[in-house]
């Protein structure tokens, strides 16, 4: 199954996508993770993307479409995948239609106040992409899955978070109507706890399979 996870920053896309991918044994394609790695390694894409990512703006569509084209052409995508963080604009969604057949769009709905709480306490593992929250980490400073030291993302500061929420509402939220019009949209209440959200998503995906 080819799945898109759609929702504002902090909605739980990465958290849920990682679990669903493990369960279904398909790759999680997180464009945020791909860009952060490219920035860290100072690749040509990373150098172009850095200023956009750090200010909370979107990286230009051409760059993202190129990244996704290359990634979807890899062998491990043949049995399905989750796109986590792509598409984020209508032009990206239109470009995707030319290279992939999407089966379902999982939308996570969460209100802005909760998003700000979640993003300000988020800790991430840059090595494997796992996501945590300070409220449940205790004194743990390393990744449970791979042992890497956890970090706070530079763009998870209050000022940049505000930009990212504005960008979401103006540039990404139109995709909700776009996919609803194609009959692909399934909306979930992302305000529930992590296990409850996961159970609803899996219930829907199993019914579709």
Q: How far is CA 173 from CA 37, 87, 138, 141, 207, in A?
A: 26, 11, 34, 34, 26
Interface with ligand ADP, residue 129, by CB under 6 A: no
Catalytic residue list contains 118: no
Residue owning tokens 């750090």: 54
45 versus 85: smaller Cβ distance to ligand ADP: 85
Q: How far apart are CA 56 and CA 52, in angstroms?
A: 6
Copy the structure tokens of residue 141.
């400073």
- One of 36, 118, 123, 164 is an active-site residue; which one? 164
Q: How far is the CB of 200 from ligand ADP (least distance, A)?
A: 11
Q: How far apart are CA 12 and CA 122, in angstroms?
A: 11
Q: How far is the CB of 198 from ligand ADP (least distance, A)?
A: 9
- Local structure of 140: helix, strand or coil: coil
Catalytic residue list contains 153: yes
Interface with Zn ion, residue 150, by CB under 5 A: no
Interface with ligand ADP, residue 122, by CB under 6 A: yes
CA-CA-CA-CA torsion sign (57, 111, 68, 102): negative
Q: How far is the CB of 106 from ligand ADP (least distance, A)?
A: 11
Q: Which stretch binds Zn ion (CB under 5 A): 29-37, 87-95, 100-108, 145-153?
A: 145-153
Number of residues that bind ligand ADP (CB under 6 A): 35
Interface with ligand ADP, residue 28, by CB under 6 A: no
Check if the beta carbon of residue 61 is closer than 8 Å to that of residue 79: no
Catalytic residue list contains 98: no
Q: What amino acid positions are annotated as catalytic residues?
A: 13, 88, 122, 153, 164
Contact set with ligand ADP (CB under 6 A): 7, 9-15, 31-32, 35, 52-53, 56-59, 64, 85-88, 92, 118, 121-122, 131-133, 155, 164, 190, 193-194, 197
């Amino acid at each position: 199954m080819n799945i898109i996870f759609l929702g504002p920053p902090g909605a739980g896309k990465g958290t849920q996508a990682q679990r669903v991918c493990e369960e279904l044994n398909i790759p999680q394609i997180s464009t945020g993770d791909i860009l952060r790695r490219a920035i860290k390694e100072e690749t040509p894409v990373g150098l172009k993307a850095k200023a956009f990512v750090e200010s909370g703006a979107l990286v230009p569509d051409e760059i993202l479409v190129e990244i996704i084209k290359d990634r979807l052409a890899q062998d491990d995508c043949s049995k399905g995948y989750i796109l986590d963080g792509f598409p984020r604009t209508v032009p990206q969604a239109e470009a995707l239609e030319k290279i992939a057949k999407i089966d379902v769009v999982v939308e996570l709905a969460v209100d802005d106040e909760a998003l700000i709480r979640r993003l300000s306490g988020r800790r991430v593992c840059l090595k494997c992409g796992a996501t945590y929250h300070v409220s449940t980490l205790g004194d743990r400073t390393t990744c449970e899955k791979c042992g890497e030291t956890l970090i706070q993302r530079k763009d998870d500061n209050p000022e940049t978070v505000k930009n990212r929420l504005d960008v979401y509402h103006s540039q990404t939220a139109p995709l909700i109507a776009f996919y609803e019009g194609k009959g692909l949209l399934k909306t979930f209440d992302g305000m529930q706890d992590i296990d409850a959200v996961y159970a609803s998503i899996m219930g829907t995906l199993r019914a579709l399979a």
